[in-house]
Amino acid sequence: MFSFLSKDQQTGEVAERQLDESNIPAHVAIIMDGNGRWAQQRHLPRIAGHKQGMNTVKTVAKAASQLGVKVLTLYAFSTENWKRPTAEVNYLMKLPVDFFSTFVPDLVKNNIRVKVMGYTDKLPAATQQAVQDAITATQDCTGMVLNFALNYGGRAEIVTAMQQLAQRVQAGDLAPEAIDEALISQHLMTGDLGDLQDPDLLIRTSGEERLSNFMLWQVAYSEFVFMADHWPDFDQTTLERAIYAYQQRHRRFGGLTNK
Ligand code: IPE
Ligand code: IPE
Ligand code: MG
């Protein structure tokens, strides 16, 4: 039984909550937002927030795996984040190198397999190498998939998939009428996740209530939970609060019954 202490956002009242172990969302996706604001509140440079945010990733990956989450997708860098100042972009590009060089043994110990989705060929060579090494080091892990969205954009992903399908049509090995939802899903960057491609629960931290080009196709029926916490403050309890909120929802998928 997973139980945690929850503090009511309005009244401040603390209550013990129990999670339903039979209803843990299989795929949890998180838009990790608020690193900059977390740092600014402490009169620190924005990159201090990114550094602390990297530690949060470690905590949350282990917590999610222990709760029984099957896929944890984390939005780490969007195709639009290149618009930021060069120094910040450079720092963000170095983070995966630090992250994996210190965390791969823990990932292996927790049976967590690393996957990356995004235009990784546009990342600096050292970042690509770190990512590739982590994928290789964890390739035999059979537990949770830790899926990093790195230089990822939902619209770009759909464009790439459409180009691939158009090429197959042009080559004569695909009939336009054979293009269906399943085939499009398979051509997206989550295609290799099989039944687990679509997030059950999407969390965004830091109070913003928008998708910022994240998994546009896959979130068609995801439950959205927006939280005020900045990402560096996120921890196991925050994750449990989000899952608890998810468990109070009634998913109908257009029908009339729950699930
Ligand atoms: C999320 O935090 C990390 C990335 C987008 C890479 P931000 O850097 O967006 O933090 P805020 O939103 O400016 O506070
Ligand atoms: C979304 O956050 C991207 C990531 C968390 C990696 P942003 O901070 O970039 O989104 P906007 O600009 O506020 O929409
Ligand atoms: Mg932000």
pLDDT in tens, 94-121: 999 999 999 999 999 999 999 999 999 9
* 259 occurs within a structural domain: no
Question: Does residue 157 belong to any structural domain of this protein?
Answer: yes
| Nearest ligand by distance to the CA of 215 | 2
212 CA → ligand 1 middle, Å: 11
3-state secondary structure of 249: coil
pLDDT interval class at 20 (50, 70, 90): very high
Q: How far apart are CA 48 and CA 46, in angstroms?
A: 5
State pLDDT tens for residues 120-165: 999 999 999 999 999 999 999 999 999 999 999 999 999 999 999 9
Confidence of residue 86 (pLDDT cuts 50, 70, 90): very high
Residue 8 lies in a domain: no
* Number of independent structural domains in the chain: 1
**CATH code at 96?**
3.40.1180.10
Specify burial of residue 218 (Cβ count, 10 A radius: 0-12, 13-18, 19+). Answer: buried
- Ligand 2 pocket, 82 CB below 6 A? no
Respond yes or no: is residue 81 known to be catalytic.
yes
- Residues having C-beta closer than 5 Å to ion ligand 3: 33
pLDDT of residue 69: 98
Report yes or no on 63 lying in a domain.
yes
How far is 48 from 240, CA to CA, in rounded Å?
26
- Residue 2 is predicted with a pLDDT of 79
- Please give the C-alpha separations between residue 49 and each of 17, 34, 37, in angstroms, as whole numbers: 30, 8, 8
The verdict on residue 256 lying in a domain is no
Give dist(CA 140, CA 157) in Å, integer. Answer: 27
Show the domain range for 209: 25-230
Nearest CA to ligand 1 atom 12: 34
SS3 of residue 114 by DSSP: strand
**What is the residue whose two structure tokens read 């464009």?**
159
Q: Is the pLDDT of residue 5 over 90?
A: no
- pLDDT confidence of residue 259: 56
Q: Is residue 202 part of a domain?
A: yes
Average pLDDT, the chain: 96
Could you give the CA distance from residue 74 to residue 53 in angstroms, rounded to a whole number? 12
Rounded to the nearest angstrom, the distance between the alpha carbon of 151 and the centre of ligand 3 is 15
**Residue 257 pLDDT exceeds 90:** no
* pLDDT exceeds 80 at position 258: no
pLDDT category of residue 6 using cuts at 50, 70 and 90: confident
- Please write the tens of the pLDDT for every residue from 204-220: 999 999 999 999 999 99
255 part of a folded domain:
no
Whether residue 12 is contained in a domain is answered as: no
pLDDT digits (tens, 9 = 90+) for 31-77: 999 999 999 999 999 999 999 999 999 999 999 999 999 999 999 99
